[in-house]
Structure 1
Amino acid sequence: MESKKTSATPEAKRPKPSAPGRAVSQDIIARGIKELNPAYFALVMSTGIVSIAAHYQGFENIALTLLGINAVAYMILWAMYIARIVWFTQRFREDFRDHMLGMGFFTAVAASGVLGSQTLLLTGRFPVAAVLWCVTVALWLCLIYGLFTGLITKEEKPSIAQGINGGWLLAIVATQAVTVLSTALAPFFQLYREPVLFLAFITWLFGGMLYIWVIALIFYRYLFFHFSPQDLTPPYWINMGAVAITTLGGTGLIANASASPFMLELTPFLKGLTLFFWATATWWIPMLIILGVWRHGFRRFPLRYSPLFWGAVFPLGMYTACTHRLAEVTQAPMIAVIPKGFVYVAMTAWLATFFGMVHGIVAGLYKTK
């Protein structure tokens, strides 16, 4: 009897030490899902466009590695977002109708579109890209009307100083992600090429108009309200990224113009407006660098990882990709040199932000323990 008790004791005690460990792990996962930033799909946006930029500059191995990382990140984030909707429905609803957080949901649209473009460009897998195109268009329609309706009909609204930031431009990024993927897929649709190109054209125009509306409010907030280092969050880089992806959408329309009589007649208009958007994106870069130096250099604001930093990586990769494509379709060799150097800036920013994310996750786990 004693030997049985002795042998049974270790077995009985084994689950007990692991039970708190499981509870802690579950608590970490639950808290991570509950507090998941709505804009975290910017990770996929950034990784996808840096991969495309690397591909354009001949870094094929880097481009394919980033594609693998992106596919995994996309699936993990969808699992987390769905779990958040199911388990923390009220928190999800609050974020959806929040002026500062709600626009972050547009990253899911842009991420789907960028991943579709990345997949098609690097692997040629049209079925996968077509599915992602359907997801992109469906999500865009739901969010562009759902989010804006929710904010318009909201009872209590913040002032412009408290309710708007660069994250609002994610609505434009999402809209132009529809344009970019549509122009990439149009040649594969054959009989439906013309309607797909027309969809790309109208979303491109609407995205450009939406940029003018939103950037006017942001610029007004910049100039006529108190501006502290805390206000200059990384999503302000989307001031540039939104017009950079609009430029990329324009290059796709120009590249497809010869296949459409309607688009062919508009080629001069497409080229002129696309160059207009590229010039606007270019103007923003020195301005944002100056403001960044003011924030971290003069005002000593700490440089710590935040999911919002992916919103700063994306514009760097997008500017590289759009400038490369613009040089191709407009035959403007004087700008072709820019992406050759800018791609290193984009890849370095991605690497630094990725390591910051990993360090933050690991540090959070140790802190919990």
Structure 2
Amino acid sequence: MPASTTPTSLLHTWWSQRPPTAGAAVMATGIVSVALHQSGYENLSRIALVLACATWLGLAGAFIARLLWDRPRWLEEAATPAALTGIAATAVLGTRFAALGWEPLAWALLALAALLWPGLLLAVVRHWRHRMPGAVFLGCVATQGLVVLAATLAAAQNTAWPAHAALVLFWLGLVLYAVALARFDLRQIARGAGDHWVAGGAMAISALAGAKLLGAEGPDLYLWNNDDTDVLRTVTAALLVLDLTWYAVLLIAEMRWPRPHYDVRRWATAFPMGMTAAATLSVATALDVPWLETPGEALTWIAVAAWLTATAAAVRRYTRRPSKDGTDAPPPETDVRSTARR
């Protein structure tokens, strides 16, 4: 077999071609872990968490390697919306670790995500254009990911300042969503490769952030007055309704315009599905609406099915046996860099 088609070289090719959107795989796996934990399936949740951690470590290694040895490519990718998947993925993992009681690790991940957030967000926003793909909403996703983790830690450690800081970011995240929506190409609903689902996923993580802010207040931690609480409850409920509306629209569009071919951006479909499940379950608790738990658990299993589909497609793509001349080796995946700057 020629050197270019050995398993080692194929793995190297696969890894070197990872676009920043591959961080959506960590986001999807991490939020599926969170939703399974909320639904009471702890063993499955921990299996998903291990997979998410392994993928996160690999992507972190690639991030550092490019920063040190391929600076031009690192700078180019850092200016694309997909670069923010690293921040969102880190925040999701931190939230799951906080639920396990591993608070020092969760704090470390919050610090890392918060350190990267302003520079990457500014670089991405400066390159926003009209008629962008769904990745434009990742500015909102990354920001609300910090809110979710900070509010979770505030509740876990009975500390007010992370929740107060998170409230500021919560409103900023909603502003970023509105600005992104004005730049989103609505035609992506019919032709998007998977990341168009982030339009709904950003709304879902915003609803989850609102629920976590409400849940951070307890008998020993007075955070919000009655007016603040009423506003948060109303906004959180509205965000969940809007998220579920997006979910229905995007699902109908998938049936109307099927897109069966694998694309790395399909992980950005599994993530919003899992986030909608987690948001529904969290809002059910925060707003004391028990009947939401049943649809929340149903949405969890739909998200698991979407995650398994994306995983199976990725494995099939990269374990396909090449021919003797290597002509049917897996081709490079589509990146979003060309579309993100239109």
User: Aligning the two structures, in what range does the TM-score lie when normalised by the shorter sequence?
Assistant: 0.7 to 0.9
1:362 has 2:319 as partner: yes
CA drift of 1:336 comes to 2.5
Partner of 2:119: 142
> Letter of the aligned partner of 1:289 in structure 2?
L
Counterpart residue type for residue 290 of structure 2: P
Q: Show the counterpart of 2:171.
A: 205
The answer on whether the counterparts of 1:232 and 1:295 sit within 8 Å (CA) in structure 2 is no
Superposition deviation, residue 195 in structure 1? 1.7
- C-alpha deviation, 1:78, in angstroms: 1.2
Paired residue for 2:109? Answer: 132
Letter in structure 2 aligned against 1:65: I
8 Å Cα contact 1:34-1:84 kept in structure 2: no
Residue 163 of structure 2 aligns with an amino acid whose one-letter code is L
Aligned-partner SS, 1:40? helix
**Relative to structure 1, is the Cα distance of residues 365 and 38 closer, same or farther in structure 2, using a 3 angstrom cutoff?**
farther
Residue 229 to residue 323, structure 1, CA distance change in 2 (3 Å): closer
- What is the alpha-carbon distance in structure 2 between the residues aligned to residue 39 and residue 329 of structure 1? 32
Rounded to whole Å, the distance in 2 between the matches of 1:45 and 1:365 is 30
Alpha-carbon distance in structure 1 between the residues aligned to 2:309 and 2:69 = 32
Q: What is the aligned partner in structure 1 of residue 138 from structure 2?
A: 170
CA contact (8 A) 1:257 1:264 kept: no
Is the counterpart of residue 352 in structure 1 residue 309 in structure 2?
yes
1:278 is aligned to 240
User: In 1, Cα distance between the equivalents of 2:297 and 2:329?
Assistant: 43
Give the whole-Å Cα distance in 1 for the aligned partners of 2:213 and 2:181.
24
Judge conservation of contact 2:189–2:250 (CA < 8 Å) in 1. no
Aligned mate of 1:334, from 271, 287, 291: 291
Which whole-Å CA distance do the structure 1 matches of 2:146 and 2:166 have between them? Answer: 7
Match of 2:225 among 264, 271, 275: 264
Aligned partners of 2:78, 2:248: CA distance in 1, in Å?
33
Deviation at 1:257, TM superposition (A): 2.7
Task: List gaps (5 residues or longer) in structure 2.
Answer: 331-342
The answer on 1:310 being equivalent to 2:288 is no
The structure 2 residue matched to 1:244, chosen from 204, 212, 237, is 204
Higher relative contact order (CA 8 A, sep 6+): 2
CA deviation profile, 1:246-267 (whole Å, cap 9, x unmatched): 1111111101234544423411
Say which is worse superposed, 228-237 or 140-149, in terms of deviation. 228-237
Provide TM-score, normalisation by structure 2.
Answer: 0.87
Q: Is the 8 A contact 1:33 1:83 kept in 2?
A: no
| Identical-residue share of aligned pairs (%) | 25
Tell me, yes or no, if the aligned pair for 1:49 and 1:318 is still in contact at 8 Å.
yes
Q: Give the CA deviation at 1:23.
A: 9.0
The one-letter code sitting in structure 2 at the alignment partner of 1:181 is L
**Alignment deviations for residues 68-106 of structure 1 (CA, whole Å, 9 cap, x no partner):** 111111111111222233343323333334xxxx00010
* Cα distance in 1 between the residues matched to 2:232 and 2:84: 26
Instruction: Give me the whole-angstrom Cα distance separating, in 2, the residues matched to 1:189 and 1:228.
Output: 42
Kindly indicate whether residue 33 of structure 2 is the aligned counterpart of residue 55 of structure 1: no
Deviation at 1:321, TM superposition (A): 0.8
Structure number, greater radius of gyration: 1
Equivalent residues of 2:193, 2:263 under 8 A apart: no
Select which of 7, 16, 19 maps to 1:37. 19
C-alpha separation in 2, matches of 1:293 and 1:46: 21
Deviations 1:204-238 (A, max 9, x none): 111011111211332xx32xxxx478842211111
1:81 matched to 2:63? The reply is: yes
CA contact (8 A) 1:179 1:249 kept: yes
How many residues of Structure 1 are paired with residues of Structure 2 in the alignment?
324
* Contact 1:257–1:267 (Cα < 8 Å) also in 2: no
Q: Which moved more, 1:38-47 or 1:334-343?
A: 334-343
Greater helix percent: which structure? 1
Q: Does 1:103 align with 2:81?
A: yes
**What is the CA RMSD across the aligned residues, in angstroms?**
2.3
Question: Is 2:194 the partner of 1:234?
Answer: yes
